[in-house]
Chain A
């Protein structure tokens, strides 16, 4: 289980105290990293507070707060404790609302909550609002924190690994649950760009129409999402230098994804799942892996999949076990989830 260090010690600003819960503390920790807040402030100054949208993916938002409140119900009336604030903690929108208030933004805001594709799909929603002319920039990202619902829920499905998860390993036996906050600032294409700038080139979304908690066995929906992303980006499969796989390390998920990837890309495109390093951060996974893709593009680094010892010979992909340094121009990232939701993103370097 991957717990982010220091989350419990984070203090929310006094005027946002009602939002206090582990998920929003983790969100704030993320928002304070890497000069992100300065970049959002600059965009707000440039475009205006109503022209910067907020799109945050989460699966469980602040549900931990409710789980804890249920342990403190009044023994007679059954009422929840008076200090429990549903609106700004439990509600799925809480983390998007917190982000909007933290930056003083006044435009459109929404939480996208489609399980483990949530924070990939925020890119799709933000792109549409930008293209329609409703916003000029967007804070997109994903935040999911550890809670009992997901721990005991995945346990009930028998999907939790006995050790650190091993995506695409012949002996893989399930996921490791992690938590994360990951953000990106999305802007319209300016006239001039640094070579290092990262472009969102394509988005593909689909539904399996198959089963609530098992993927389509042939990865049909996954394949459609990848194909649609390539079509939007006007690229061929051969143009992609690296695929960041969804790669949760359950036997069926990795098998279905391998079929889908092989059907479109063959078996040569370098790929890996970074969940061996991060665990499965659920609703934050798409955002987290988008950031890993941006780092791959900027640093010319293809990340090898951690923990995997023996590649599964039944999964015919060029799965990287070691980091590889090489120029990287275009990458694809997959995010799939419960309910048969699929989203693929393609990012590229500007120069």
Chain B
């Protein structure tokens, strides 16, 4: 099968208009950015998940951690961008689905009666957070739902940045992971929940906080991924796939320029050229 092509080879530049952040000891981007630019010492803590008040009560009761974290960071990012959530196409990327839900389903299926509830089942789809997001925000535009295991943040960023450039539209990217219960935790040691929301736009505006560029010929690289200096934050970056974004967020917080290399796939990293907009 073949398809037409237009852009071909030009650098892909997007402008970061809004950021949402939630993670262990990280309650928002406003707070997290101060830890990332070293203006406030980071203190370890568990990730605290807000109730998804934007959902109708029935859906709110059914919402698991994946939905809570993704709605929280999506809303924070969209609010900062000044855009309407209903207008934005979205990309949701996670290294796995709702592991607590998965554990409950697998436990039930291994038991005598094998009964699982309809809610457990429809919450088991990888696109549950995308579905709840569109229900809560009224967004009827496209939503891509991805997984690239530990490289899920970079996979989501690639998808979102290409969509911004090719479709010339602002896009909401939400990357998130939730912690695993035993016995899955022993085979997939994800220690806590982490989420990041990013509103990326094709043009610079007064809301632009940073500019990120992918050079199509050079952004896929064998270079080593960047790390964080703060030991505790570096542990989060390493242990939760969605937190691989933290080096990129640090460059926004510190208003720095240069190249950030992100973990992606085995033997393949993603290099992003960054520059501040203020």
Contact = CB atoms under 8 A, between A and B. Distances in A.
Contacts of A205: 89, 141-144
A208 B117 CA distance: 23
A66 B184 CA distance: 9
* Chain B contact residues: helix, strand, loop or mixed: mixed
Interface string B73-105: 000000000000010010000011100001001
Nearest to B119: A212
B2 to A, nearest CB: 5
Interface string A89-132: 00111001100100000111111111100000100110111111
Contacts of A92: 96-97, 126, 147, 149
18 contacts: A63-B102, A78-B182, A93-B152, A100-B265, A113-B125, A128-B159, A128-B166, A130-B3, A131-B5, A132-B7, A133-B9, A186-B1, A187-B1, A193-B2, A200-B3, A212-B128, A340-B134, A347-B1
A246 B124 CA distance: 21
B109 A209 contact: no
A221 B127 contact: no
A9 B132 CA distance: 40
B122 A114 contact: no
Q: Which of A84, A132, A193, A198 has the most CB of B within 10 A?
A: A132
Interface of A, helix, strand, loop or mixed by DSSP: mixed
Given A125-B146, A128-B166, 12 more contacts: A73-B183, A114-B130, A115-B126, A127-B3, A130-B3, A131-B7, A148-B114, A153-B120, A189-B3, A207-B142, A208-B134, A338-B122
B5 to A, nearest CB: 5
B135 interface: yes
Contacts of B102: 63, 66
Interface size class of A (residues with CB under 8 A): 35 or more
Given A131-B162, A133-B10, A156-B117, A212 B5 contact: no
B267 interface: yes
Kindly name the residue among A199, A207, A340 whose own CB sees the greatest number of chain B CB atoms within 10 A: A207
B130 A129 contact: no
A132 B131 contact: no
A200 B109 contact: no
B268 interface: yes
A247 interface: no
Given A78-B182, A91-B95, A207-B139, A338 B131 contact: yes
B254 interface: no
Interface in B1-59: 1-10, 12, 59
Closest 9 CB pairs of A and B: A339-B131, A153-B121, A205-B142, A113-B126, A92-B147, A133-B216, A70-B110, A207-B134, A93-B149
Contacts of A78: 182-183
A209 B130 contact: no
Interface of B: 1-10, 12, 59, 86, 89, 95-97, 102, 105-107, 109-110, 114-118, 120-128, 130-132, 134-135, 137-149, 152, 155, 158-159, 161-163, 165-167, 182-184, 186-188, 214, 216-217, 219-220, 265, 267-268
A299 interface: no
B159 A156 contact: no
A79 interface: yes
Given A67-B110, A212-B122, A132 B162 contact: yes
A154 interface: yes
B165 to A, nearest CB: 6
Contact of A112 (B146, B163, B268): B146
Given A93-B148, A153-B124, A340-B131, A213 B3 contact: no
A79 B183 contact: yes
Contact of A59 (B5, B126, B267, B268): B126
Nearest to B147: A92
A339 B118 contact: no
A187 B2 contact: yes
A158 to B, nearest CB: 8
Given A124-B142, A213-B122, A341 B216 contact: no
Contacts of A108: 155, 158, 220, 265, 268
Contacts of A110: 146-148, 155, 158-159
Given A73-B183, A341-B143, A197 B134 contact: no
